[in-house]
Amino acid sequence: MIRTTARTAAALATVLALSLGACSADEPERPTTMPDVTLAGFDGGEAVDLGELRGPALVNLWASWCGPCREEMPLLEEFHQQHGDEVSVLGIDYQDAQPAKAAELVAQTGVTYQLVTDPDGEVSGQGAFANLRGLPFWALVDADGTVTHLKAGEVDTVDEIVALAEQHLGVTL
């Protein structure tokens, strides 16, 4: 009886291991490109074709109603002032129904890095933003235009932004 139970357990373990391996091997790869979408410049600024974006670059999705976004915008601006020559920063005002509030936030925080707007959420579900949920949301793009890292949630310090850039974009800042 014990021998049968041990054999059965071993067989089940083998089947389970093979099944799990097959599942993970069949999972589709996450897209590593930016969406092929052109977004209008914020407040009349220059439009950007995200599909043509080349880095090293940090892309940050934000909205005026997002508390964590409001807190990290000055950090992104500080990063831009210190390292903008090595790593560009692009902010996307994402699904923001209050463009006047967004413009007010940009003025309050003194943001000078490039901004575009996506009021209808065109980037959602496309390219590296296939599973976009919540703001703030980050994409790090290398010199070839490959998205090397996605990050959901806010950053708390400029040093954290520097660490993300160095780790995922291969730059030394």
pLDDT tens digits, one per residue of 1-17: 445 454 444 443 433 33
- SS3 for 102? helix
Joined together, the tokens standing for residue 155 give 């950053």
Domains of the chain, CATH where assigned = 38-169 (3.40.30.10)
* Alpha-carbon gap, residue 76 to 10, rounded angstroms: 54
Q: Give the containing element (helix H, strand E) for 124.
A: none
- SS3 for 91? strand
More confident residue, 23 or 123: 123
- Which of the four pLDDT bands, split at 50, 70 and 90, describes residue 27? very low
57-94 burial by CB neighbour count: b if 16+ within 10 A, else e? bbbbbbbbebeebbebbebbbebbeebeeebbbbbbbb
119 pLDDT higher than 60: yes
DSSP assignment of 2-70 equals HHHHHHHHHHHHHHHHHHHHHHHHHSPPPP-B--S-EEEEGGG---EEGGG--SSEEEEEE-TT-HHHH
pLDDT for res 70? 95
What are residue 128's phi and psi, to 5 degrees? -65, -15
